[in-house]
Structure 1
Amino acid sequence: MNRRLLGRFVVLFCAATLCSANTITLFNSGTNSSDVALSGSNGTVDTHYSVVETLQNAVTYFQAGYYPEDATARWISEAADGTTPTNPATFRLLFDLTGLNPATANLTGNWAADNCGHVALNGGTLGGIIPFCNTATSFNTLTAFSFNSGFVSGVNTLDFILSNTGGAGALLVRDLTGTANAPGESSIPEPATWLLAGSALACLGLRRMRR
């Protein structure tokens, strides 16, 4: 197959479809304004995540046995020593879709919890349920979550509802990504786009047969 023609096809198809998506500004837990892990010991303030019930920002907290931290995310809790006076506690991240079409938005990520909980988008759609509060797998492995509906124009809320069954309580949010198209752009290829894609593939196949 002619690689140059294939490259042109990919560029044209991508430009007409998913490449039009815009990245949503999101932050993993325990990160700074560049979405890089905060430096410092337990108790460093995370300005992106707040505890709804106390109106206070979350702070970093880590203990042995938790899923490892890295340069992209850190564990957070209500307090520097991991105590959770609020149980369950809602850790909230705000993100803004102003200038974007919420109907085309999607969001994915991974999280872990000590001890269990779920993720909620705008107080409604649920995902990433960690059901078993008394097993180590809830905090030493990651649970995936994703949303492709339930978004609204303007500011959206992503809530991590954490239940603690004793001892420290904390959560980790990482690999958080999302996209949405500008108004008037569709994430689903139009019929003309599919026709263009089919024609390009047919031409590529014909050239290959002639060789």
Structure 2
Amino acid sequence: MKHTIIAAALAIASFSSAQAASINGLHNTGEGISGTADAYYTLSSSSVSNTVPTITNGSQWPINPWLANTDASKWITPTGTQGESLDPWSNGTYTYTLQFDLTGYNAASAVFNARIAADNAVSVKLNTTSLLSNAVGFTNWSDFSAHSGFVAGVNTLEFTVTNYALNGGNPSGLRVEFLNSNVAAVPEPEAYAMLLGGLALVGAIARRRKQQ
């Protein structure tokens, strides 16, 4: 009897643990070699022709005063010259996009926590849901998170950076670092059967004990 109860409990526990996973595709900025294109983020801007941002070199300006690069994440910039002065007469807008796929997962269960820095201000949107609005700062982090707004299939995160106009010494960049995430898988029919069988077994044992 004892072994039967343990087996049923293990079946239920294995079902629960198998369903939890980190969200695949939530990449930090700068996962790669300095000076190369970021493989996961795309860029759209009327200020530059580039469609792929560049990973910065941590020993070159403007990393200081920008937050220092780390092994976890690095700054990315709109052009290959990270200190290039941009937007001399009017504010520039740079939209960085990251996509991830929740196919096979329960989108309603997805959550993540992250932090961000930008030169100068940044807003964050998940699909059509606003997560952060006009956070300013390249010497400190701003936290943001998502607990809703996910969709089945491909999801899009948009990071819209505003670079304030300045005639000279005016680079722009983005830094994103995901801290943790979680999503539940959509169980296969066999997994449901295992769960129901385990629950039925536990219920039968409980009834038998009550009758005794």
TM over 0.5: yes
| 1:123-173: CA deviation from partner (whole Å, max 9, x where unpaired) | x211233444xxxxx001111110011111111111111000131110101
Deviations 1:155-193 (A, max 9, x none): 1111111000131110101134322111259xxxxxxx9
Residue 19 of structure 2 contacts residue 186 of structure 2 at CA under 8 Å; is this kept in 1?
Answer: no
Segments of structure 2 that go 5 or more residues without pairing to the other structure are 1-9, 189-198, 203-212
* Cα separation, 2, equivalents of 1:129 and 1:15: 40
Q: Label 1:95 to 1:177 Cα distance change in 2 as closer, same or farther (>3 A).
A: farther
Q: CA deviation at 1:13?
A: 9.2
Residue 200 of structure 1: aligned partner: none
How many Å apart are 1:18 and its aligned residue? 6.8
Distance 1:101 1:173 in 2: 25
**Structure 1 position 88, deviation (Å):** 1.2
CA distance in 2, matches of 1:177, 1:57: 25
Q: Larger strand proportion, structure 1 or 2? A: 2
How far did 1:110 drift? 0.6
Q: How many residues align?
A: 165
1:107–1:180 Cα change, 3 Å: same
The Cα shift of 1:15 comes to 5.5
Alpha-carbon displacement from aligned partner over 1:7-40 (angstroms, at most 9, x marks no partner): xxxx999767577312111210010xxxxxx233
Kindly provide the amino acid, as one letter, of the partner of residue 106 in structure 1.
V
Q: TM-score, normalised by structure 1?
A: 0.67
**1-structure distance, mates of 2:11, 2:73:** 36
1: CA distance, partners of 2:13 / 2:161: 39
Aligned to 1:182: 185
Corresponding residue of 1:104: 109
TM-score by length of 2: 0.67
Contact 1:120–1:126 (CA under 8 A) maintained in structure 2:
yes
Tell me the SS of whatever aligns to 2:28. Answer: coil
Structure (1 or 2) with the larger CA radius of gyration: 2
Secondary structure at 2:53 match in 1: strand
Give structure 1 stretches of 5+ with no counterpart. 1-10, 32-37, 133-137, 186-192, 197-211
Identity of aligned residues (%): 29
Q: 2:132 aligns with which of 105, 128, 134?
A: 128
Alignment check: 8 A CA contact 1:51 1:58 kept: yes
Equivalent-residue separation in structure 1 for 2:148 and 2:43 (angstroms): 24
